[in-house]
Amino acid sequence: MKKTTAVLMAVFLMLCSLPAGADAVLPAGPAPDEERVETPDGITFITAYSARGSRSEGRHHYLEIGGFSVPDVFSRLKYRDFSFVFVSRKYLWGDDGYVRTGELAVPESPSAVDEKQLEKGWYEGAERLSGTPEHWIWGAWEGGSLFAAPEKLAEAAKELKLPVLPREGSPLYEALRPVPAEPDAEPPEKKTQDTVSGDEALKALEEALKEKK
């Protein structure tokens, strides 16, 4: 029965987390009551909370650089001497989003950035071209990286169709993960009746998605 409840809860949580439509690509920003810390370098550290003050407190970290929000699409990010990595929560509590990390080394190239790239405001590449403005951001994802002016970062991410990184793990995976038998577990006959298979759970999810549409 515990397994059944876990699967149903997972389906419900996944439905709640789905975007409302095709245009809902980037995640919503922090809540209105978030904490903001601005630095002289043009970075604004934003922290929003869920279940604040409790054992289940979640801390959600966002960045603004030069007044522009950084989308949740970069696994690693560097701006001037500030390096960040994107982390996801496995549980309700903990940290997610962009957090500070040790120095990230970005390769330099002797090749010069051209005028078209400067006019565009960003370029894709693994090396920082000579002449790239100092305030441009380096952002990396699985399989690539780019350099962009803060005001062009979201535009570049959209043009490259970069996938949004999850701020929390999948509740469905946790619900379907095999659980070791407890010492006082019920007899096999009754346990078989209460167990929900992976196929049944996926079927329930498909039906729920159809109803949502």
End-to-end CA distance of the chain: 29
Question: Given pLDDT bands bounded at 50, 70 and 90, which one contains residue 49?
Answer: very high
Domain ranges within the chain, ordered by starting residue: 31-159
Question: Given pLDDT bands bounded at 50, 70 and 90, which one contains residue 117?
Answer: very high
How many C-beta atoms surround the C-beta of residue 104 within 10 A?
Answer: 14
pLDDT higher than 80, residue 17: no
pTM for the predicted model, two decimal places: 0.66
Residue the block writes with tokens 């869920």? 50
116 vs 93: CA distance, rounded Å: 45
Closest residue by Cα to residue 208 from 25, 17, 2, 23: 17
pLDDT at 183: 44
pLDDT at 146: 98
- Going by their DSSP bridges, the two strands 108-112 and 128-130 should be labelled as parallel
